[in-house]
A and B are shown apart, each in its own frame.
Chain A
Amino acid sequence: MDKELHDIYAELKTRGLTKEQEEKILTEIRYGGSHDMPGEPGSGAMIQGELHGFYDYHDLMSLQDMLIFMGGYPISLRSLDELMEKDKQRAKDGFPRKIRVGRMIKPGKGGKDRIVVVPTTVEEKFIHDKLAPPEKEGESSGGSGDGQEGDVIGEQPVHTPEPGSGTGPGEGEEGPHEVESSAYDLGRILTEKFELPNLKDKGKKRSLTRYTYDLTDRHKGFGQVLDKKATLREIVETNINLGNIPDPSAIDPTGFLITPSDRVYRILSKEKDYESQALIFFLRDYSGSMQGKVTELVVTQHVLIYSWLLYQYARQVESRFILHDTSAREVEDFHTYYNSKVAGGTKVVSAYRLVNEIVETENLARDYNIYVFHGTDGDDWDAEGKETLPELKKMLTYASRVGITIAEHAGTTHRSTEVQKYLEKSNLLTEKPQIVRLDTIREDSDEPRLIEGIKKLIS
């Protein structure tokens, strides 16, 4: 792996790199992580789970081992729609919406927290904020036991959920089933917010087992509704045959003969319902530069899209998941996609190429509407997009929508990442706004912003 990266680096270097680019590439090479699924934290004095402050203790838990529940719609599921309705009403009354769809941490014993997707809210008040502690320094707490001042007494991995923030993906305890069952509800909520664009009739291989009933079949003699136009046509035909219309320029309808079988009715009939099929590719940059918040953002956004798809197009949508650093690989399920750790370098082209290959070899373009969602921090070793752009163009020939999300690191200038630059330079965004969409979000964006982003990518 490392050697491979160095090879690419050497090759790029011979082609010439700016100092800045070189630095970025080198940090990624040096990062030296691996894409494991997170497992048990290593040995040593690990601090597990959340640290408790005074107010985290209460008698029910401490004395009787009983849990308390701070609200939670699962207990009143019937009211979920009511809640959403209420929230809509707020907007109409001129107040900001208050229900957010978000992911919650369900703390479990021994640090085995689960992430569950639920609607949440917050009650705003004037409260004191903590002064941002100096960088690299967390909040102080109390402690007891032996040791000299300055002694390190324990450590906790940064990228598993740490107390306070607690929303890091890549923690790996939850089963795929968990994602999907709660995702379904999230999808219900998201549904009213957007739907898939450019859905064309393609293939129609899949039919719902559902039937619809419609007044489409015609029947002579009897039925539910008289089809006047068709009936008139029949009458005219009969009378031509009978010779009742000698001169087409002077028709006298009073002399027409009408047989009972001339009457055409529409009758109710059973129709099989076919729907268009869609295939979604989720692409995620899991290179070393994607550490921390940016990955969280990208993954969160994809969770939202995925949840919504599961609900809205449950039987019609297939999803494929692709992770890439300098090379791309397809993973089997959303679980792996969601939880894999970041490491390695960045070549966006690898992912696009893989998508193109899959589409080509499996001949997907003929039967499916294809959507591609790509999340990245905007870094690309291929700074000019020389390799990437041709692959992207190829993708555009068949895709119904390509949505690219760039989660910018804090501290970078807005809209100055490599991917952003070469996309803008290529004019693809302006030439094919129906097909390519780009959404650039800052590292500190919240979930409402992500949903805005999805609307932008999808609408």
Chain B
Amino acid sequence: MELIDQHTKKIMEGCKERAQAVGLRFQDESLEYIVTNRDLLEISPKLMIPTLYDYWVHDVQVLQEKGKYELYPSNPYETVINTRPAISFYNDNNPDWLNVMIFYHVLGHIDFFQNNIYFQHTWDYDFTGQALSDKRVIARLRAEKNKWVDYVIEFARGIDNLVGFHETLSHLNSAVLDRQGRRLNFYFDIFLQSVLKVRVNDYVKEIERYNRCIGESGELGEKIFFSEIEQKHPEFETLFQKSLSEKPKKRQDLIQFLLDHSDFLNKEKNRWMKTVLQVVRNTSLFFQPQIRTKIINEGWASYWHEQLFLKDERIKGQEVAFARVNAVVTSLPRVGLNPYALGMRLFHEIEEMADKGRYDYEFQRLLDAETREIFDADTRQGRAFIFAVRQNYCDAMFVHSFLTQEFINRYNLFVAGKRLNKRKMVWEYYIKSRDVGEYRKMIQDSLYHPPHITVKNDNDNKPELYLVHHFEGKPLVNEFIANTMMGIEYLWGKPVKLETSEVVSQTGQHPDGSAGGVSAKDTSEVVWRRVVYTMENRKLSKQFI
């Protein structure tokens, strides 16, 4: 890997000026490298982070057919990585105009990395630096502990998709409460609910009383409110004081729980494993936002490379060549889902709608179709609005909020179904639906969504670790359960249980539909039951509950 030459770097710097002029905000420094195929061979298994720790699985072809993206949620093959400074990778024979296009695309991504709040936990440090030190730690451990390091990495990676990404973010954003605020929270959240166990009715009455106090007495209202409580419940103040001395309970993900509570890991001779677990967890947390912002991030970058390229006077005359490449990148496929195409069109749509003021209440309350059709408040707020969207949305929200029936109709989108034609022995693709609800559902189904699994160890007297898979209409991949649980058992040092749901039967299959005609509505009905898997001494057993 070597840096791009001075000529190309100068072009990049010119791109940065133009991008910043239209409002993109990013750190001034960036590094651009030329990569050869040889380099790619080495860094692509490491998710494009050149300093990622070594692990033997990187040397083996990984089976990707099943759950490819669930297993490798990073999906980091942007041409740029989210580091400080941001590093991007280029072919060595790109013509200048193509580099300009890619530079703008890259700058769009960098802007997104550095402003979208889902990346907030990556803003304060350089991941390549962190990764390098982690890599060295692991190399040193490997020199001492040998194969056991790899086992621990393996077992930790087995649960690294269950990291508390949203918890991490919410922790970063939690409001700082003063003493009075905490007292209020304690009263409503804990005292009323857990100590007094009041009925909903009374709870609401208390809220009303609080509001009344504030309304009548302003700043003194809260004091009046609490003085009444102290008369009624003299024990309140003592309990509150006690609660202050307790550490606030934080929700822990599985790896954190193991780090804190596993007797096995906390033995003197096993402590080094905790370092490995931390490394794996941090690495996973770093990659989490990338896969959750695929459509919006690619859409944003595509929107800007198009806008900025066409305005760039340095490469006048290359519009046709650009149009060809751009069309390939951002065309809507006849069948398939292209994040560039969908995301970019959504941003255009949002900008246009916001320019006309159609996200305002004034428009929302209009009922007459014709008036809606021609509505244009001419607010010209489109630019500002898409910047706000790029700051605050992830894929799921982006699609849910802005994908409308009008958008579907405008771009002629549909849900493509696939069915077997037995007579011709072919898979037929057909237009299944043009309804926005169906389309959104189809997209939501294809978005990354790891299972929600929490630890339920109420009392730590029980030796076993009890995991609960919160059911969301999908089972876990059965063949992976055994080995994953074996890894957890190793790290926990004692038996592990997993409560999950399984399909008992699936009825109402499609009738033998041959070609033609709209297929019958999905009538399949699924019967579920809860089961508990137990992993003990590396043996898996199953009970129904």
> Using a CB-CB cutoff of 8 Å, which residues 402-447 of chain B contact chain A?
411-422, 424-434, 439, 442-443, 445-447
Interface CB pairs A-B, < 8 A, 12: A60-B79, A63-B325, A75-B42, A120-B61, A126-B451, A127-B71, A127-B480, A142-B335, A143-B335, A143-B413, A147-B431, A152-B515
Residue interface mask A113-152, B partner, CB < 8 A = 1: 0000011111111111111101111111111111111111
Main secondary structure of the interface of A (DSSP, over half): loop
Beyond A125-B484, A128-B449, 13 extra complex contacts between A and B, CB < 8 Å: A51-B336, A52-B336, A58-B78, A63-B79, A64-B79, A122-B62, A123-B62, A132-B506, A143-B414, A144-B333, A149-B518, A151-B430, A152-B515
Residues of A within 8 A of B417 (CB): 137-138, 140
CA distance A122 to B42 in the complex (A): 19
Flag whether A66 is at the interface (Cβ < 8 A): yes
CB distance from B145 to the nearest CB of A (A): 13
B484 and A134 within 8 A (CB): no
A155 and B428 contact, Cβ closer than 8 Å, known pairs A58-B77, A96-B483, A125-B484: yes
Flag whether A166 is at the interface (Cβ < 8 A): yes
A57 and B340 within 8 A (CB): yes
Residue interface mask A163-183, B partner, CB < 8 A = 1: 011100000000000000000
Residues of B within 8 A of A142 (CB): 333, 335-337, 342, 413-416, 439, 442-443
A128 and B476 contact, Cβ closer than 8 Å, known pairs A55-B75, A144-B414: yes
A124 and B484 contact, Cβ closer than 8 Å, known pairs A54-B337, A141-B335, A157-B426: yes
Flag whether B147 is at the interface (Cβ < 8 A): yes
> Using a CB-CB cutoff of 8 Å, which residues 404-453 of chain A contact chain B?
none
B415 and A140 within 8 A (CB): yes
Residues of B within 8 A of A127 (CB): 67, 70-71, 161, 450-451, 476-477, 480
A125 and B60 within 8 A (CB): no
B429 and A121 within 8 A (CB): no
Segment from B89-97, B232-240, B357-365 that makes contact with A: B89-97
Flag whether A40 is at the interface (Cβ < 8 A): no
Flag whether A86 is at the interface (Cβ < 8 A): yes
Chain B interface bracket (under 10, 10 to 19, 20 to 34, 35 or more): 35 or more
Residue of B nearest to A116 (CB): B61
Residue of A nearest to B329 (CB): A62
Flag whether B504 is at the interface (Cβ < 8 A): no
A89 and B101 within 8 A (CB): no
- Which among B41, B75, B427 is the interface contact of A69 at CB below 8 angstroms? B41
Closest 8 CB pairs of A and B: A138-B418, A58-B77, A143-B416, A127-B70, A124-B480, A144-B332, A59-B79, A68-B44
Flag whether A47 is at the interface (Cβ < 8 A): yes
Flag whether A222 is at the interface (Cβ < 8 A): no
Residue interface mask B221-263, A partner, CB < 8 A = 1: 0000000000000000000000000000000000000000000
Residues of A within 8 A of B337 (CB): 52-54, 141-142
Residues of B within 8 A of A83 (CB): 56, 59-60
Flag whether B40 is at the interface (Cβ < 8 A): yes
Residues of B within 8 A of A100 (CB): 63
Residue of A nearest to B99 (CB): A64
CB distance from A136 to the nearest CB of B (A): 4
B416 and A120 within 8 A (CB): no
- Which among A71, A76, A158, A165 is the interface contact of B425 at CB below 8 angstroms? A158
Residues of B within 8 A of A138 (CB): 417-420, 427
CA distance A83 to B446 in the complex (A): 35
> Using a CB-CB cutoff of 8 Å, which residues 380-396 of chain A contact chain B?
none
Flag whether B513 is at the interface (Cβ < 8 A): yes
**Residues of A within 8 Å of B, CB-based: how many?**
82
Residues of chain B whose beta carbon lies under 8 Å from any beta carbon of chain A = 35, 37, 40-42, 44-45, 56-71, 75, 77-80, 89-91, 94, 101-102, 105-106, 109, 147, 150-151, 154, 157-162, 291, 294-295, 298, 301, 325, 328-329, 332-340, 342, 411-422, 424-434, 439, 442-443, 445-451, 453, 469, 472-484, 486, 503, 506, 508-510, 512-513, 515-519, 522, 524, 526, 538
A136 and B420 contact, Cβ closer than 8 Å, known pairs A144-B334, A148-B431: yes
B415 and A58 within 8 A (CB): no
A157 and B425 within 8 A (CB): yes
- Which among A62, A64, A126 is the interface contact of B480 at CB below 8 angstroms? A126
B432 and A149 within 8 A (CB): yes
Residues of B within 8 A of A62 (CB): 328-329, 340
A146 and B79 within 8 A (CB): no
Residue interface mask A304-333, B partner, CB < 8 A = 1: 000000000000000000000000000000
A70 and B44 contact, Cβ closer than 8 Å, known pairs A63-B102, A128-B449, A137-B420: yes
B335 and A94 within 8 A (CB): no
A120 and B336 within 8 A (CB): no
